[in-house]
Chain A
Amino acid sequence: MVIDFILLFFVVVCAVASVSMKDLLGSVMILGAYSLLMALLWTRYNSVDVAFTEAAVGAGITTVLLIAALSRTFRHEEDPEKPGQSIFPWLTRIARLIPLGVVMLTGAVLIYGTLDMPNFSDPAAPANLHVAPYYIEKSVPETGSINFVTAILASYRGYDTLGEVTVIFTAGICVLILLRRRFHG
């Protein structure tokens, strides 16, 4: 319980640090730490498979991709000085506050939405009562896999995984097409 709270606290600190840092390489490094802390948190929430994937893919591959992109572009965030001068400076100052207002409003609406939700770790939550008991009871006799997550991923929801592979394939082709260098003579 206390560990959960400490982890959540550090996750939020990492997110704020990562967003506010001017040095993009540092920002990406902190994002890696953020992903790893997230994996720890998910281990605490009993989702070992997801934590493993996040530690490998989220903290590993995403960080590598971001660093690779930084090495091909520019390491530092440019100054927020906007090149276009405005006739009314106070108008630009107000315009900078608009994103903050939008974020606050969205957050308030989401928090209002949580008031109707079942409490955290409630065993009688509707999400835990519908189809999940079937998977837990039947996956061993029907698929023979003692890991229920594997059973659902590869058997009951196999088409999801097929779609996932399609997405990765499409993304790979997109990256190849975008980063291909053409040589004109």
Chain B
Amino acid sequence: MIEIIAGKYNYWIYISLMMIGFYAMIAKGNLIKKIVGLNIFQTAVFLFYISMAVREGSTAPILLSRAHGALTPETATYTNPLPHVLILTAIVVGVSVTAVALALAIKIYRAYGTLDEYRIAKLEQDAE
């Protein structure tokens, strides 16, 4: 039991972060708040990926020294670089998503004068 907690508590913290973002996305009425929640959710997923790359006693994935490492570096010395690459791409894509979502929010505000989804739904109902 203690072993499971010691080995996995990191993952559980990431999951709680992810759920905080998820809650903001589905429970908050304000559209900007939803986008903030989306950002928190994204970062929690990134954190999860990055943590999977960590190897006990390893260092950053940059060659320590050409002479020392010769031409075949020791794999166990370095952190797994592959998740880093995937997340580098994902961060930039995440910002693009945020930008488009915010543009949509501004457009909605111009049309309805509010960012609260219940008020928007009410205005839609009244217009019918």
Contact = CB atoms under 8 A, between A and B. Distances in A.
Nearest to A24: B32
Interface residues of A, number: 92
Interface of A: 4, 8, 11-12, 15-16, 18-19, 24, 27-28, 31, 34-35, 38, 41-42, 45-50, 53-54, 57-58, 61-62, 65-66, 68-70, 72-74, 77-78, 80, 82-84, 96, 99-100, 102-104, 106-107, 110-111, 114-115, 117, 119-123, 125, 127-128, 131-133, 135-137, 140-141, 146-149, 152-153, 157, 160-161, 163-164, 167-168, 170-172, 174-175, 178-179
SS class of chain B's interface: helix, strand, loop or mixed?
Answer: helix
A47 B53 CA distance: 9
A34 to B, nearest CB: 7
Interface of B: 4, 6-8, 10-13, 15-24, 26-30, 32-33, 35-37, 39-40, 43, 46-47, 50-63, 66, 69, 71-73, 75-76, 78-89, 91-100, 102-107, 109, 114-116, 118-119, 121-122, 125
